[in-house]
Amino acid sequence: MSTVDETAEEGFAINPARVGVYLTLGALVVFFLAPIETGVVTSLKTPDAVSTTSPLVPSVEGFTLDNYATAVSELLPGMVNSLLYAVPATILSALLGSFAAYGLTLTDWRGQIGVLLLFVAGIFIPYQAVLVPLTQFFTVLGLSDLAIWSLLGIDNAYSGIVELIVTHTAYGIPICTILFRSYYKGVSEEMLESARLDGATVRRAYRRIVFPLSTPMFAVVLIYQFTQVWNDLLFALVLVQAESSAAAPVTLILAGLGASQSGTIFGLRMAGAFVAALPTLAVYVLFGEEFAKGVAT
Amino acid sequence: MATFSYVRKLLERVARTASGGTDGAETAATDDDAVSDEAVATDGGDTVATDGGVRQSDGGLRGTLEDRLGEDFLESAPFWLPPFLLVGLFVYGAVIWNAAISLTDYEGFVDPDYGNLDFDMYVQALTSSQVIDAGVNTLVLMIGFTVVALAFGLLIAIVVDRNIRFENTFRTIYLLPMSLSFVVTAQFWLWMYDYDGVLNNSLGLFGLGPIEFIGNQEIVLASVVFALVWQYSGYTMVVYLAALRAIPTEHFEAARVDGASVVKMYWRVIVPQLKSATVSASVVLMVFSLKAFDFLFALVGGYRPPNGADILATKMVREAFQNQNWAYGSAIAILLFLMALSVIGPYLYYEYTNDNL
C-alpha cells in the first residue's frame, strides 16, 4: 500500500518505522516456524538426546535417522491407502463441483439461487451430524461382504477405501462448487451467449468453452481439495475405525503413533508427522499461490 | 423446497420417454397443464425464434418447465442435478436420518427401532453435566479461537501490507501451518507444550515454570486455542490482505492528510471497510473450530480428550463410536448442528441479501 513510500524515496536512509516492520515480520516468522523447527530437530534425535538437549538445538552426538526409518515403515502402507482414496475423491469432487457451478452460474433458469444455497450450507455443516447415518448407510450397503474382494484376493477391509472415496466426494462437492462458482462469475457472458446463439448446446458450451477456461481454477480446487482429504481424520476414523486395518489411512495411523506404553516417543512422533505431511507440504511448496487462492475464496 | 416437485416432474418425464418413446404426444396427453396453452405457444414460436432455429423444444412438459424455470433448466440439469442429488443424499438426507435416529433408543449392535420415538435422548443430554460442560467448552473454543485468530490475522495483514520486500516469502511462511493436518499439528504442539518442550524450556531460562499446558484443565482449552490460532491466523491474514488491497488508495491518503495517526487511521477508516471479510472469515473459523475434533483426538491418540478440553464434537464421537450409544450420540450431534445452524443461517441470509452468493 502506498502509506509507506518514504524508504523508496529517501534511498538507503534507515527509517525506524521500517526497522520496526521488519522486526515484527521476523518475530512472526519465528512464531510460525518454531513448532516446525523443533519438530525437525527432535525428529533427528535419539530418545536420550530428546530429554537431555535443548528442544530447538540439533544434537550431534544424539543424531539418528532411526525415527524416520520407523516412521516410514509404519506409515508407508497408510500413505498408499490415503492416496488410493484422496486422488479419486479429489478428482471426482472437483469435476462434479465444476459441473454444478456451471449449471448454477452460467446457464439461464430460475431457482438457481435456491439450489445454490443448499450447496453453500453443505460446506458448513458439522460432520458429526451425519456420522451415525453414514456408518449405518455403509453397513446396510455391505460393501465388505461383496464376493469381489475374495475373487480378487484383496482384503475386504479395502471396502473402507471405496466408502471413503464416495464420502469425501460427496462432502467435497459443496466447497468445490462454490470455488468454481466464484470463478465462473467472472467469465465473460458475451462469449458464452454468442456461442449459444450460434447453436451450441449447454453441454457443448461447457466442453468447448467453459472447461478449457477452467484450467487455472481446476489447479486451485484440486490442490485445496487434495489437502483437505489427505488431512482428514474424522471420516477415516468412523469408516475404517482400526488403525491396524489394512486400509487404515495415514492420519489414522499417525494419531496412534508414538504413544507407546513407556510414554510418548517424541522423536518418532515428529518424524511421523513430517512423513505424513510430506505430500501436502510438497503440494504447498510447489503450488503455494494456488493454495492461497483456494483458501482465500 | 419447490425444487423437489420439479425434480419429480423431470423424473416422470424421463420414465415416460423411456417407456413410450412417443414423448411429445404422450406427454401432452397426460399433462393437462402443458397441453392447453403454453406448450403450443412456446413450441412453435418463442423457443425456436430465440435459439436461431437450431434447438427445438420437443414436448409439452418440457415447454412448461422451460417456460417457468428458464430455457436452460432441462439442458443444464445433467450438470447440476447429479452433484445436487449426491449432496442432498449425503448431507441433507443424512442429517434428517440422524434426527430420526436421535429420537430412538438405538444402542449397541442391534438395529434401530423407529417405531418408538421420543425425546429421551435430548432430555438425557441436556441434563448431563458432561454435555453442558462440553457445550460451554465448544462455545469458549469457538468464540475465543475466532476472535483471536481474526485480530491476530488482521495485525499480520496490516504489517505485510506495508510495502515490504519479500512479501511472497513472508506470506508463504505464515500460511504454511494451514496446509498441515490437525493430526500433524497436534504432534507439534504436544511437543511444544511438553515438560521438555520449547515453551517450558524457554520459561525455564527465566526461572519460571514448568507449566502443564495440557495437563492442567484450567488452561488446556487456552492451549488448544493458541495452537489453532497458530495454524489458522495465516488464513485470516490472506483474507484481510485481499480486503485491504480492495480499499482504494485515496482512503489511506485522505486519512493521512487529515493528520490522523496510523493507528487511528486503521481504526476509523480501514477497519470498518473490512466488515464483509470479517463476517465470512468468522463463519469459516467457527466451522473450523467445530472440526477441532481431529486436533483433540490426535493430541491423545484416543476418544477421550484431555480433561477440561472435551467439546461436543469429541463427546458425540465418543458416545457413538466408542460406547455404541448411537441415539445419544445422534442427539448430541443434532445439538451441535443447531449451534452451527445458528451461525450459518444468519450468515447465508446476510450473504443472500447482499447478493454475494
- Mean pLDDT, rounded, for B113-136: 88
How many residues does this entry show for chain A?
297
A248 shares its domain with A270: yes
Q: Which stretch of A246-260, B76-90, B173-187, B283-297 has the lowest confidence by average pLDDT?
A: A246-260
Whether B122 maps to a domain, the answer reads no
B241 shares its domain with B173: yes
Whether A60 maps to a domain, the answer reads no
Whether A99 maps to a domain, the answer reads yes
- Chain A residues closer than 8 Å to B336 by CB: 126, 128-129
A40 shares its domain with A187: no
Other Cβ atoms closer than 10 A to B43: 20
pLDDT of A70 strictly over 70: yes
Q: Which stretch of A278-287, B56-65, B134-143, B269-278 has the lowest confidence by average pLDDT?
A: B56-65
Considering only CB atoms, B90 lies closest to which of A28, A132, A171, namely A171
- Mean pLDDT, rounded, for B126-143: 92
The share of chain B scoring above pLDDT 70, in percent, equals: 80
C-alpha grid cell, residue B16? 415416460
Whether B125 maps to a domain, the answer reads no
Considering only CB atoms, B297 lies closest to which of A33, A50, A233, namely A233
Contact: B333, A227; criterion CB under 8 Å = no
B156 shares its domain with B88: no
B239 shares its domain with B160: yes
pLDDT of B19 strictly over 50: no
Omega before A249 cis (within 30°)? no
Q: Which stretch of A174-178, B15-19, B25-29, B98-102 has the lowest confidence by average pLDDT?
A: B25-29
- Mean pLDDT, rounded, for A152-163: 85
B162 shares its domain with B283: yes
Q: What is the rounded CA–CA span in Å between residue B237 and residue B242? A: 9
- Chain A residues closer than 8 Å to B181 by CB: 230-233, 251, 276-277, 280
CATH number of domain containing B143: 1.10.3720.10
B207 shares its domain with B259: yes
**pTM (2 d.p.):** 0.83
Determine contact: B252 vs chain A, CB below 8 A. Answer: yes
For cell 471413503, the residue is A164
Taking the CA of residue A272 and the nearest CA in chain B, the distance in Å comes to 8
Whether A58 maps to a domain, the answer reads no
Whether B119 maps to a domain, the answer reads no
Residue of A nearest to B52 (CA): A197
Whether A197 maps to a domain, the answer reads yes
pLDDT of residue A199: 80
Whether A59 maps to a domain, the answer reads no
Range of the domain at A254: 66-296
pLDDT of residue B45: 37
Where does a domain end: B101, B116, B148?
A: B101
Determine contact: B258 vs chain A, CB below 8 A. Answer: no
B76 shares its domain with B188: no
Whether A61 maps to a domain, the answer reads no
- DSSP one-letter string for B245-270: HHS-HHHHHHHHHTT--HHHHIIIII
A33 shares its domain with A75: no
pLDDT of A156 strictly over 90: no
pLDDT of A231 strictly over 60: yes
Taking the CA of residue A196 and the nearest CA in chain B, the distance in Å comes to 8
Contact: A36, B182; criterion CB under 8 Å = no
pLDDT of A6 strictly over 50: no
Where does a domain end: B86, B101, B116?
A: B101
B181 shares its domain with B299: yes
pLDDT of A222 strictly over 70: yes
Taking the CA of residue B287 and the nearest CA in chain A, the distance in Å comes to 6
Contact residues for A276 (Cβ-Cβ < 8 A; gap 6+): A75, A78, A79, A250, A251, A254, B181, B183, B184
Whether A32 maps to a domain, the answer reads yes
Residue of A nearest to B197 (CA): A55
Range of the domain at B91: 3-101
A134 shares its domain with A279: yes
Considering only CB atoms, A99 lies closest to which of B80, B172, B187, namely B80
Q: What is the rounded CA–CA span in Å between residue B124 and residue A2? A: 59
B41 shares its domain with B188: no
B179 shares its domain with B269: yes
Residue B309 and residue B137 in contact, taking contact as beta carbons nearer than 8 Å: yes
Whether A269 maps to a domain, the answer reads yes
Considering only CB atoms, A276 lies closest to which of B163, B181, B316, namely B181
Domain count, chain A: 2
3 state DSSP class of A58: coil
Whether B118 maps to a domain, the answer reads no
A36 shares its domain with A82: no
A150 shares its domain with A28: no
- Chain B residues closer than 8 Å to A67 by CB: none
A25 shares its domain with A82: no
pLDDT band at B21 (very low <50, low <70, confident <90, very high): very low
Considering only CB atoms, B320 lies closest to which of A114, A120, A132, namely A132
B174 shares its domain with B300: yes
Whether B86 maps to a domain, the answer reads yes
Domain count, chain B: 2
- Nearest CA to B235 out of A88, A110, A293 is that of A293
A107 shares its domain with A160: yes
A183 shares its domain with A291: yes
Q: Is the dihedral of CA B89, B94, B96, B101 positive or negative?
A: positive
Query: To 10 degrees, what angle do helices B23-30 and B3-20 make?
Result: 130
Whether B124 maps to a domain, the answer reads no
B40-68: pLDDT as tens digits: 333 333 433 344 444 444 557 777 767 77
**Quick one: DSSP state of residue A38?**
H
Mean pLDDT of chain B: 79
Q: Report the helix count and the strand count for chain A, using DSSP H and E.
A: 16, 2
pLDDT of residue A259: 61
pLDDT band at A193 (very low <50, low <70, confident <90, very high): confident
Residues 155-184 of B with CB under 8 A from A: 156, 159-164, 168, 170-184
Please name the helix (run of DSSP H) or strand (run of DSSP E) that holds residue A222, with its range, or none.
helix A215-231
Q: Which stretch of A145-159, B48-62, B210-224 has the lowest confidence by average pLDDT?
A: B48-62
Whether B117 maps to a domain, the answer reads no
- Mean pLDDT, rounded, for A180-187: 88
pLDDT of residue B85: 93
A83 shares its domain with A230: yes
A10-29: pLDDT as tens digits: 455 678 878 888 999 999 99
Whether B115 maps to a domain, the answer reads no
For cell 443444464, the residue is B76
B229-267: pLDDT as tens digits: 999 999 999 999 989 888 888 777 776 666 667 777 777
CATH number of domain containing A246: 1.10.3720.10
Q: What is the rounded CA–CA span in Å between residue B333 and residue B196? A: 38
B60 shares its domain with B143: no
- Chain B residues closer than 8 Å to A103 by CB: 76-81
Contact: B3, A114; criterion CB under 8 Å = yes
